[in-house]
Amino acid sequence: NKRITIAIDGFSSTGKSTVAKQLARELGYVYVDTGAMYRAVSFYAMRNDLITPTSFDKEGLVAKLDNIQLKFIFDPDLGYAAIYLNDENIEDEIRTLEVSNYVSKVAAVSQVREKLVSQQQLMGKEKGVVMDGRDIGTVVFPHAELKLFMTATSKERAQRRYKELIEKGQEVNYEEVLKNVEERDHLDTTREDSPLVKAQDAIEIDNSSLSIEEQFEKILKLSLDKI
């Protein structure tokens, strides 16, 4: 069996990470959540007052990038790897709406992208990896054997994200979650460096009306066809 690279890109809350985790487990591959890395840098910026609702000290963040060390360590309770910022587990801290509101601004900074993309390329260099994000099939692994581009309507996606946050006990309302989803779509698709765009050779999957099982079966089949 040959080991391949599977790149999964798409808008936020399209179920990329759900299917990527299932696929990695089924194939015995490594799963890398690149959104967690951009969230971790945003969390660092937030904690160090480099970003607030009204300001963003880009130069300050760029100057401190060398102080940011990210690592993934498998967590048997979660069933996937949790992200660590300088040896501190911040898996829960990065999943808040506050971090979501900053992340697309931080992810638009080229020096941030350079740092994270090179780390992602290292993590995938042995293949046997399922990586999800916004630029995996276009920038990180343009030669990936399988590229998927996931879509769903913004209302459907906001509904899913809202449910997730409520289940985690966070106090949010649907309207603000929808606003965040739409703002991130806009920033992610219009930024200059590595905008979210479907790679020419990516297979588009609209999962608005697919169940998680149907989606998994479909994508597993596409993967096995390449292996």
Q: At what angle do helices 16-27 and 212-226 cross, to 10 degrees?
A: 50
Among residues 91 and 188, whose Cβ is nearest to ligand C5P?
188
Per-residue contact flags (x/-) with ligand C5P for residues 170 to 189, judged by CB under 6 A: --------------x---x-
Q: Taken in order 82, 35, 103, 64, is the CA torsion positive or negative?
A: positive
Tokens of 72: 């993934």
Report the amino acid identity of residue 136: I
69-108 residues in contact with ligand C5P (CB under 6 A) are: 103-104, 107
60 marked ligand binding residue: no
Q: Does residue 37 contact residue 85 with C-beta atoms inside 8 Å?
A: no
Q: Does 223 bind ligand C5P (CB under 6 A)?
A: no
Residues 6+ apart with CB under 8 A from 139: 117, 194
Using the contact rule CB under 6 A, the part of the chain among 80-88, 127-135, 147-155, 175-183 near ligand C5P is 127-135
Under rule CB under 6 A, how many of the chain's residues touch ligand C5P? 14
- Interface stretch with ligand C5P, choices 34-42, 69-77, 152-160, 167-175 (CB under 6 A): 34-42
135 binds ligand C5P (CB under 6 A): yes
The C-alpha atoms of residue 18 and residue 210 are separated, in whole angstroms, by 13
Check residue 14 for interaction with ligand C5P (CB under 6 A): no
Contact between 20 and ligand C5P by CB under 6 A: the answer reads: no
